[in-house]
Structure 1
């Protein structure tokens, strides 16, 4: 009797690189002649962005841009001045090995930022950016799917895996001319601006991936009349987008997802119109799943066997996660009590996400960083900042068992309440969005050898033996120990499950 082994090549996921790179930011800036002298520094803000990246067989290279905004007031004036500068950095990281279909994730975060006035005409800003780098890839692993002959018994488990993966990256540009309207004063200079991407959805049509969403633009600007009086004004508008992304050979059997990233937002004000141009990066993924029966154990009832096990990490189709969480902070001002509030921005840092399989929730903890731009009783701008630790829980709507979470946490919106004593209560709504990727490690067989020359020697010539089974013992382990089949034991003892519910005596039929 010949031994026939059916094999299959399946993709398994491996982590190629998981590292963090640090980049220092140093700026020495001399004010141009048309800007007033520095009298008081209000604050300094830095925002990092990955502009572009490339992946080669042995390294990755990326361009990092840091947008720096320094707010100050001149002598004898409460009008806020804004210094805007950009700094570019080219960085690279070596890959320890090559991989098929590498997937790169880059997450930049500001570690710290501060500034000081060296002289009335010169500013000095210092900061640091940390970039989390994660590269994963696929490799093909040969596993046993089925075995025939030589009285071989098999133990199998069904596994669904990502058989086909398609990815594409597309940069798009959104342009719009926004009228200020009669109620808005003309823009003198933009102090703050922020782009939030919302309502994103994907669909597959005729072999194309359609990505839709909205880009919400929020900005704060200064204005000034001819008599020298002025102040600050906020503004908000939305730019919708709908894009077709070419992805090879995808159809309705694929599950699709897309992540939109803001590369830049250029705002150019004129007398009555604000010209807005936003560049987005769409990172799209489509996955088609397949099923396979993995052989995890094997033996022959008549011949000695030698098996070769292999441990494989198998990714299944990701499930989209979109959940909101609430957290809060309290800002207690010092001597300068705010009389009015112009703008509130919230960010999160030091995020830690933990999957809780017992409650099927996601535990999210970190620091809520609040930055509030206000004015005191004299009209002087003041920047109030507060970091508050938070802990929140999200319901992903799907099982978190044996899964890997690849998601981000970002503030969706934030509100405040100003009390009479100047205390400010901040309520922030955090959005957890990304993918929950079911991933499990299995030990299966990549090879099996059966020694057909030597038969197993039994301890006697019998067709039935007695065996005392313990509670929760697997019938497979009993069959393997006694060189018989699982079906024969279950039929002889009228067992409904392949695990013993109670301890007791079993009849073990011997098969050949």
Structure 2
């Protein structure tokens, strides 16, 4: 009987690019006219902001800017801040042309140095490292079935995850904010921070509906005596993202990113600066996943003729878990001897890597505790301390080859004075996706040589075989050119893998 081979094209997702690239930070900063002169530089911070990623052919273009915040002491020995944006663009060669690419970009600042050239100009030099991951779809033409020629097939079910689609939607939140009751009028904003988190996500046909919260934190000096004050605001946000092809069976990784934040003092009806005009531009990013199972032939032989085939190993991604956790970090922090009191504390979080331990994913991060304080002479000073932390995500199955696409952000950072130090408590948002990199064998070609029939020993209808623990019935049947189903039926075996020693009867298949 002639062999009939049936092939299908199966779609698999794989990582087509996963690498790091360094970007320089080089900027000469001139203070705006409304900023007082620099007496002493306290700290310069850089925050990478990504505004757009574009793939064209085998090229990926990453665009954004580094938000530079220069904290310094003015001639009145008060903390001031001047913000500057340094745009950047980097074109990366992906070495291939991905189909339906899903891009993830993050960055960490390696170092940042600043030097005051004069009272109005600062020279800033540093570097940051971009981490870029690109997931693309590939189509593999594989053997999925065959009939005739005495062919025996071993099929393998491949559980994978397909990226159904990605979409971004930018929107702007404008709000007039009031200082809290009893708060003095605002003189100068020293530090502002805007962050957004997703609180609810619902997938409907071709759309993703998200709800979230925009959190704004301020550290400012009062208008009269320039005393330091803080304020926090939580604003609800919501968006509908169009994502063709998604439905209720999809799982979504949805994140909110702050692209820009502009907060300006505003006078109230009495002419006092007790209000703020806030304009925050955000980007809602949605990535939809669909669990898929594809069947492919991984091994074959013929009971009647010599068979030949060409197999290969393919790599695919399977979504393990969508992470949306909170991690609480606590520490008793001893203050330097020269610090008399703490004015303001904040922290920055960064994901540093992930690994598997038993049935859990361990996500490592770095938290940088940043502090404005007063020294023994009453002058403002700056201190920082980096600390390491780990967060465990429990997994239901035994996984291997972890790939983590994780973002960490410090949402809140509070402190309580203790004897000789402070107790720090920070809440860190950990969100993203955990993948397992699956490797499996598929068959691309299969043939039976009708000119080379197998020589059968017709003198014996059964062969006795002494099997050892751990042997596979498929391998035994293939060795004796018989049917695995016939061996299992003859010996009343239910599972393909043998646990104990066994004496098997190997039937002859003609």
Normalised to the residue count of structure 2, the TM-score between the two structures is: 0.92
Residues 1:85 and 2:81 are matched in the alignment: no
8 Å contact from structure 1 (residues 54, 61) kept in 2: yes
Please name the residue that 2:480 is paired with: 482
Please name the residue that 2:166 is paired with: 167
Please name the residue that 1:280 is paired with: 282
Please give the residue correspondences for 1:387-466 in structure 2 after superposition, counting only pairs within 5 Å.
387-390=386-389, 392-399=390-397, 401-402=399-400, 403-421=402-420, 423-459=421-457, 461-466=459-464
- The CA distance in 1 between the partners of 2:213 and 2:44, in whole Å, is 29
Please name the residue that 1:381 is paired with: 380
Residues 1:118 and 2:102 are matched in the alignment: no
Give the secondary structure class of the aligned counterpart of 1:338. strand
Please name the residue that 1:493 is paired with: 491
Residue deviations 1:373-430 (CA, integer Å, cap 9, x gap): 222354422212111233x241245436145322222223333233332x23423333
Please name the residue that 1:509 is paired with: 507
Q: What's the Cα RMSD here?
A: 2.2
Residues 1:257 and 2:253 are matched in the alignment: yes
Please name the residue that 1:190 is paired with: 189
Please name the residue that 1:108 is paired with: 107
Q: Give the 3 Å change call, closer, same or farther, for CA 489–5 of structure 1 in structure 2.
A: same
Please name the residue that 2:28 is paired with: 28
Give the secondary structure class of the aligned counterpart of 1:476. helix
- The CA distance in 2 between the partners of 1:399 and 1:428, in whole Å, is 31
Residue deviations 1:285-329 (CA, integer Å, cap 9, x gap): 223333332211111111111011121222345531123334445
Residue deviations 1:95-154 (CA, integer Å, cap 9, x gap): 211111112111122111232323334322222221112222111001222221112111
Give unpaired runs (5+ residues) of structure 1: none
- The CA distance in 1 between the partners of 2:30 and 2:247, in whole Å, is 56
Q: Give the 3 Å change call, closer, same or farther, for CA 82–292 of structure 1 in structure 2.
A: closer
- The CA distance in 2 between the partners of 1:490 and 1:51, in whole Å, is 60
Residues 1:217 and 2:216 are matched in the alignment: yes
- The CA distance in 2 between the partners of 1:5 and 1:163, in whole Å, is 27
- The CA distance in 1 between the partners of 2:64 and 2:308, in whole Å, is 53
Residue deviations 1:414-458 (CA, integer Å, cap 9, x gap): 33233332x234233333211123441111212211112221013
8 Å contact from structure 2 (residues 318, 437) kept in 1: yes
2:292 to 290, 293, 296: 290
- The CA distance in 1 between the partners of 2:207 and 2:119, in whole Å, is 57
Please name the residue that 1:346 is paired with: 347
Give unpaired runs (5+ residues) of structure 2: 268-273
Between stretches 124-133 and 32-41, larger displacement belongs to 32-41
Please name the residue that 1:52 is paired with: 52
- The CA distance in 2 between the partners of 1:475 and 1:379, in whole Å, is 81
Structure 1 position 31, deviation (Å): 3.8
Between stretches 34-43 and 268-277, larger displacement belongs to 34-43
8 Å contact from structure 2 (residues 14, 316) kept in 1: no
- The CA distance in 2 between the partners of 1:377 and 1:183, in whole Å, is 29
Please name the residue that 2:270 is paired with: none
8 Å contact from structure 1 (residues 320, 434) kept in 2: yes
8 Å contact from structure 1 (residues 471, 501) kept in 2: yes
- The CA distance in 1 between the partners of 2:320 and 2:363, in whole Å, is 20
Give the secondary structure class of the aligned counterpart of 1:140. strand
Instruction: Give the length in aligned residue pairs.
Output: 503
